Structure 1
Amino acid sequence: MSGDRSSPPADAGGHDDRRRWQALGVGLVAAFMTLLDISIVNVAVPSMDRALGATPSDLQWVLSGYALTFGLVLVPAGRFGDARGRRAAFVVGVALFTLTSTLAGLARSPEWLVATRLLQGAAAGVVNPQVSGLIQQLFRGAERGRAFGLLGATIGISTAVGPLLGGLLIQLGGAEHGWRWVFFVNVPVGIVAVLLAWRLLPTRPTGQPDRHRLDPVGVLLLAVGVTLVLLPLVQHAQWHTPWKWALIPAGLVFLVGFGLWERWYARNRPPLFDLRLFGLRSYTLGSVIALVYFGGFTAIFFIFTLYLQTGLRYSALVAGLAITPFALGSAVASALGGRVVTRYGRPLVAGGLLTVMVGLVTTVYVLRGSPSGSVPLLTAAPLLLAGLGSGLVIAPNQTLTLAEVPVPQAGSGAGMLQTGQRIGSAAGIAAVGALFFSSLSSTRGDWATAFRHSLLLAAGIIALALVAALVDIVGGHRRDPAAAHR
């Protein structure tokens, strides 16, 4: 089907053109809100510590527990939306996210805050695959690329702007209670999103609703596998025993068991996740690119915030402003990348990855020695360049990865893709963070050197994503000389 906006897709659920874009707008607002909560809380940690008397372990769970439960429910929630309709799953997810945000803001103890963060992460995991599935359901051709471009901009901006918005809210709310507004800000947005989603989102899934049970054994195997893989990554700073790493191979065993179970289950009933999707080269290599890229991409903000706030004693607000050039570059390039991805294909992603690497290496160069000027000013231009490259990676890669996924499997396919992103983020932060602190210790507190070393590792991780993109490009040329331009 063409990308003509005057003719909505046949499976748009009766939605006219304007209504489709309004529904997308609601989805993007919810996605922004849930993804923002991954990074916005980082700058609020010192304030939470003072207000609640939290231990380092409590604070680590506040940060990592959200990412853990987020990753756990992505695939089951996506499958539920595919089978029973995305509106119900989306509305329940946003409502739960709004409620848990309220409870987190009202927390009176570290245990209360940790519990609500775990529930909040699970709610975010329910919401996000519905947004990708909605784009697959309502848009086709060039329109789908533009819609994913907007989603990519949302992902990039929410990740990068979190520290800035968190710093502003803490500044306005005060050192003692400003952290509560990091959570309360979600409440009015969530209420409006629930009301609009109930009116604008499609009421039925594509085709006939699937009345089969939603594969509880598959859900359990996947949940245990993902938990065992993620736990040592998100708790690496608090669990000092080397035995923690034994959980990762144990998790991989459960994930292999999940794959075998899904293969058997699919003989008679719709599985939680259709393994045949990995038979699509675009889906497999795109998932690898996303997993590896997020391993380098999200680690950048983690170490940069530490360097600026703890090492150089900048305020949370200034630290957030320093990351803004990356967010602006990502927003502009994501919108552009979504429009041209159908013309240039995977080479666009490869070019974006190379640009990110150039921006990061340039950042290392301008911080060589002992930088005498303002670090936020010195890094503004190279981070802008890296942001422009990132915008050409996230949205175009998601468009290409999901391009061949059938619409009835769009939610579970997007859920598995995002699960890989969450695992990649946790692994990248663990690896880059470990090098950062190791270098800081070996150089006796030289924050600039530690930051440069860890930033080079992040660039190296992104280089691995570039290799995967080049493999896809070369494979496309061998199979079909025109494949790289689709």
Structure 2
Amino acid sequence: MMLPVLLAAMFMVQFDLFVVNVAAPSLEHDIHAGQAALELIVAGYGFTYASGLVTGGRLGDIVGSRVMFLWGTLSFTAASLLCGLAQSPGQLVAARLVQGLTGAAMVPQVLALIMGVFPPQERSKAMGWFGVALGTGGVAGQVLGGALLQGDVLGLGWRVIFLVNVPIGVVAVALGWRLLPQPPSQGRPKLDPVGAIGVSGSLALALIPLVIGRTEHWPVWAWIMLGASVPAMAASLRWESVLASRGGQPLLDLTLFRNKVFARGLIVCVGVFAAFYSFMFSLTLVLQGGLGLSPLHAGYTFAPLAVAFAGASLFGPRKVAVYGARLVSAGIVIAGVGMAITLVVLQASGDSTSWARLIGPMVLIGLGNGLAVPVLAGVVLAGARTAAAGAAAGVLTTSQQFSSAAGVAGIGTVFFTALGSHHDVAAFAHSLEWVLGIGLVLIVIALVASAMLPSPPRPGKAPKPAAN
């Protein structure tokens, strides 16, 4: 019973990352949200979530994973309620930023509790199910979100996509209070406020201009922020290194990045998550804005992808001990083939593009990502074999969420730039071609990195020591 409680929290966070995609037209109509506000509503949640994950993990180490999970889940539920009650674009943007921060307080505790409470023989399966919740939550945001909007539950309109979290969150807190144990204490580290501010601020400096720079016609401040993000991150990492050399407790364990398996795993995460989630975001815009589908019809169009993803997600965790990194590579190849076919279909169809022609390659994309995403974290952490498993899991999850947010923001900017002022079917198809082209480059990079991840040893052979 404990694992479903943890996975429900993970599912809610991912669901809310993508459910707003299908609600964009309703937000434009009901509260007059402009394009900049829409992008902040979608990606603002993602970058506060991504930038707060490492700090959220450290706070869990300090006050305890169980306590932090309960408070994080309760706060996320309250933030969801604020989103559902928002009366203006500004209120909804503010509530979404808070929702992302509270998600960052909650999610690292899910990993910490899995790593700290489950015995080693059950941990890899639990990590696999963590990946299932991670992936299916995002896909369900497209499918269930459309159904909720079309059903207009209780006449709530778009508000239902946020208010649905309230009963789920309340039940998760109540069950968590009764069922969740506190993992064995391994000492209480100190908070590194300079590192927390530096790392989170550096990520924000990069993502904010990516989200709203285009709609503001790339003002000087956007370029200044982008340029400042690199030295700000460099200074933050330098501080972390100095703090560690003095015997302090830095927010980031920089020795992780010298572990070759872990470093390669980060590259795979960046490529897979940025490519997959930017595609999901852009395809939603094409289905509703270009092809004129209703939210429900758009959700149904995503259903085959969701079924393929779910089926592959259930298969992957059971086979990870046998195939390991080969499962990740196979999934990346299948997803890449699906994206390439989609690109060919769009180029051949042009203004004759229809949702029916996209179903087949969408199934391949769902199948491939369903194989790769759920087992990726477990494969990397097992292959790295680092003593700092909790810290490694936190950094890996941060890279996944940052890549998702950066993919939606950065590649989404390319989509809107290519679209320009032309909103016919051919223009939307052309814009999606740009997204797919960038995604395929990321997929190739991820595939090369995944091929260098360690595979399970053959029977009778001892595993090689992890490269550091």
- The TM-score with structure 1 as length reference comes to 0.87
In structure 1, what is the equivalent of residue 185 of structure 2? 207
Q: 1:255 to 1:404 in 2, by over 3 A?
A: farther
Counterparts of 2:276 and 2:265, CA distance in 1 = 16
Counterparts of 2:415 and 2:192, CA distance in 1 = 42
1:257 correspondence with 2:238: no
Counterpart secondary structure, 1:369: helix
Q: 1:334 to 1:174 in 2, by over 3 A?
A: closer
Counterparts of 2:320 and 2:464, CA distance in 1 = 12
- Letter of the 1:218 partner, please give it: G
Paired residues, number: 459
Report 1:225-240 matches (<5 A): 225-240=202-217
CA contact (8 A) 1:348 1:392 kept: yes
Q: CA deviation at 1:435?
A: 3.8
Counterparts of 1:260 and 1:248, CA distance in 2 = 19
Q: 1:306 to 1:240 in 2, by over 3 A?
A: same
Task: Say which of 264, 272, 277 aligns to 1:293.
Answer: 272
Q: CA deviation at 1:441?
A: 4.5
In structure 1, what is the equivalent of residue 38 of structure 2? 59
CA contact (8 A) 2:43 2:409 kept: no
1:401 correspondence with 2:380: yes
CA contact (8 A) 2:210 2:413 kept: no
Q: CA deviation at 1:442?
A: 9.9
Report 1:376-395 matches (<5 A): 376-395=355-374
Counterparts of 2:361 and 2:16, CA distance in 1 = 26
- Letter of the 2:194 partner, please give it: V
Counterpart secondary structure, 2:453: helix
Report 1:214-229 matches (<5 A): 214-229=191-206
CA contact (8 A) 1:206 1:407 kept: no
In structure 2, what is the equivalent of residue 456 of structure 1? 437
In structure 1, what is the equivalent of residue 292 of structure 2? 313
In structure 2, what is the equivalent of residue 15 of structure 1? none
In structure 1, what is the equivalent of residue 406 of structure 2? 427
Counterparts of 1:442 and 1:116, CA distance in 2 = 30
- Letter of the 2:430 partner, please give it: T
Task: Say which of 163, 173, 192 aligns to 1:194.
Answer: 173
Q: 1:484 to 1:443 in 2, by over 3 A?
A: farther
Q: 1:175 to 1:50 in 2, by over 3 A?
A: farther
In structure 2, what is the equivalent of residue 19 of structure 1? none
Counterparts of 2:337 and 2:436, CA distance in 1 = 12
CA contact (8 A) 2:290 2:423 kept: no
Q: 1:271 to 1:132 in 2, by over 3 A?
A: same
Counterparts of 2:366 and 2:464, CA distance in 1 = 27
1:470 correspondence with 2:447: no
CA contact (8 A) 2:41 2:93 kept: yes
In structure 2, what is the equivalent of residue 14 of structure 1? none
Q: CA deviation at 1:99?
A: 0.7
Q: 1:424 to 1:246 in 2, by over 3 A?
A: farther
- Give identity over the alignment, percent: 37
Task: Say which of 50, 54, 58 aligns to 1:75.
Answer: 54
Counterparts of 1:172 and 1:410, CA distance in 2 = 44
In structure 2, what is the equivalent of residue 347 of structure 1? 326
CA contact (8 A) 2:50 2:405 kept: no
Provide Cα deviations, 1:143-192, integer angstroms capped at 9, x if missing partner: 32221221111121111121222211111227984111111100000000
Counterparts of 1:208 and 1:448, CA distance in 2 = 53
- Letter of the 1:99 partner, please give it: A
Once the two structures are overlaid, the 10-residue window that deviates more, 245-254 or 437-446, is 437-446
Provide Cα deviations, 1:325-372, integer angstroms capped at 9, x if missing partner: 222222222222222222222222111111110111122334443379
Q: 1:427 to 1:46 in 2, by over 3 A?
A: same
Counterparts of 1:341 and 1:288, CA distance in 2 = 20
- Letter of the 1:295 partner, please give it: A
Q: 1:73 to 1:303 in 2, by over 3 A?
A: same
Once the two structures are overlaid, the 10-residue window that deviates more, 241-250 or 453-462, is 241-250
Q: CA deviation at 1:57?
A: 2.6
Q: 1:484 to 1:269 in 2, by over 3 A?
A: closer
Once the two structures are overlaid, the 10-residue window that deviates more, 77-86 or 38-47, is 77-86
Counterpart secondary structure, 2:247: coil
Counterparts of 1:190 and 1:28, CA distance in 2 = 12
Report 1:21-420 matches (<5 A): 22-141=1-120, 143-173=122-152, 177-203=156-182, 205-210=183-188, 212-241=189-218, 243=220, 244-266=222-244, 267-370=246-349, 375-403=354-382, 409-420=388-399
Once the two structures are overlaid, the 10-residue window that deviates more, 356-365 or 45-54, is 45-54
CA contact (8 A) 2:353 2:429 kept: no
Counterparts of 1:419 and 1:163, CA distance in 2 = 22
Q: 1:402 to 1:304 in 2, by over 3 A?
A: same
- Letter of the 1:250 partner, please give it: A
Counterparts of 2:24 and 2:200, CA distance in 1 = 28
Counterparts of 1:283 and 1:261, CA distance in 2 = 22
CA contact (8 A) 2:288 2:294 kept: yes
Q: CA deviation at 1:74?
A: 0.2
Q: 1:400 to 1:247 in 2, by over 3 A?
A: same
Provide Cα deviations, 1:259-317, integer angstroms capped at 9, x if missing partner: 22222222423322211222222221111211121110101111111111111101111
- Letter of the 2:97 partner, please give it: L
What are structure 2's unaligned runs of at least 5 residues?
none
- The TM-score with structure 2 as length reference comes to 0.90
